[in-house]
Structure 1
Amino acid sequence: MSTQTPSEVDPNRPLLPQVCRRAYWHNESGLIVTVFNRPLPLEIVEGPPRNDHQDLYKEIYYGFYPRRPIASSTLFEVLNFNDEAIAEKIVRRSTGWGLDLDLRASWSNLETLLVAVMRTLIDYHPDFPYFPILSYPLMPADYGYTSDSLSQSSALHVAKKSKQAFSILTGLVTFALSLWLTSYADSAFDDAFALLSKQPWMSNATLAHLKNLIVNMGPERLFGLDTASATARRYYFPPQAQIEKAKRQSVAYDLPPLPLPILSPRSK
């Protein structure tokens, strides 16, 4: 992701806060970045040397996975159900077992909105043709909450899996927003929200909810570097000078300003 160089920074305008992360250079896997000293995935610690790091950034949106339950805001309140509450929303119809129709419609409306926001921000980005290829996750509806099941237990399982998928979709939306960031606090999302405000499906109320959700961000994702393309480094990597420093020793460093996973961090 591009950021302004120090010479371009206006000292009279407040910058977005920086995010401290840990990074070190792994001889086989390249640059590894972690947050809160979390353990590294076994595939990085024990995996064979990699000649191609495409798989390290094709799912980079997982680094934007919200680190707390996402149902604590107005926009996501339709997901504010624990497992017991979801079970109470499973009803029997002539077509089988499934979510209460009102709740099903609410989840569907939220999913449609989030997917539209994500696709708009990615597809209409001025540099979209140069983006590295992403591997998109299954959407909540892919887990089946929009259909009825043969049994109550199956319907509950489907509903819980579908709800979990909203967290991954939220991370993907946050990643899409981060691609539009500027360095300045007073204009960080101006371009992104200007684009979204022009869409016929975006209401002023929904846009206001999105704006209220974006604060600061702590992405947690690993990055390989050896064979990463210039395009991948351009959009998905920390500044080159910081990468070079991380190669030499374990360091704490600041990333360019990024938004916090759309809602607050996941509880441990």
Structure 2
Amino acid sequence: MTDTTMTIDKTKTDTQPAAPTKAEPDMPPAIKPAAERDPLRARIENFSFYYSNGFQAIKQVDMPILDRKITAIIGPSGCGKSTLLRSLNRMHDLYPGNRYEGKVILEPEGENLIGPEADPVLVRLRVGMVFQKPNPFPKSIYENVAAGLRVRGIKKRAVIDEAVETALRRAAIWDEVKDKLHGSAYDLSGGQQQRLCIARGLAPNPEILLLDEPTSALDPIATAKVEDLVQELSETVTIVIVTHNMQQAARISHRTAFMYLGEAIEFGDTNQIFTNPKHPRTESYITGRYG
């Protein structure tokens, strides 16, 4: 096990008495903290989420989000992956009655993104989101990318022009759209629309970019372009991606979290998770025994 690998295993030391019985697999101990050499961008601490009907979808999750790394969240359908992801930028606030517990601390500022003092609108600008299906606004390509900048109160055209171009370049779509910026975003292909949505999320210069199954609606060629883009972006922005595609998680992520029934069962280096999982539920999922 390397210094950067964090799993739910308990490690015995010389000073610890031996446990009288073996821990049940369904009762994982707390996830270990990240190694000091891996700087954090956020810390999810004892986090739970309840829908307005009282259903608890996320249960006491602890998870480090490493700075300028790709963290993949995997697990079977209905395990809470997307629910957790949408909690990180307060998307659930759009529906009354939903409730958070615990903390999501943005580092190094130490701000609690789900605290009552945090403005959900500003949180969504600092923690951008790209959804499963491309969802461009019914506006021009330019106005799609400029939307977040206008919410931030930026009005100078020269500043917006520069930010739009920068975001489109970072999303690897500038050369394809630079001559039709004022044309409809709906005229783009599916893959282009998804990269436009990534540019829209990047324009306000977020600290974290969330990707919820960003390639599930795309063909293999468009998927490869988005995966290459995500890996390139991770050099400058922290990325958290939810995916059902385990091969995709293995290809592009640095760390992987496995979730089951709303709990974070195991978290660690992606190679370790896929080749030497420590928890039996993780191994069962990785080997295809259920999903």
Q: Give your verdict on TM over 0.5.
A: no
TM-score of the aligned structures, taking structure 1 as reference length: 0.29
Judging by fraction of residues, say which structure has more strand: 2
Judging by fraction of residues, say which structure has more helix: 1
Structure number with the bigger relative contact order (C-alpha 8 A, sep ≥ 6) is: 1
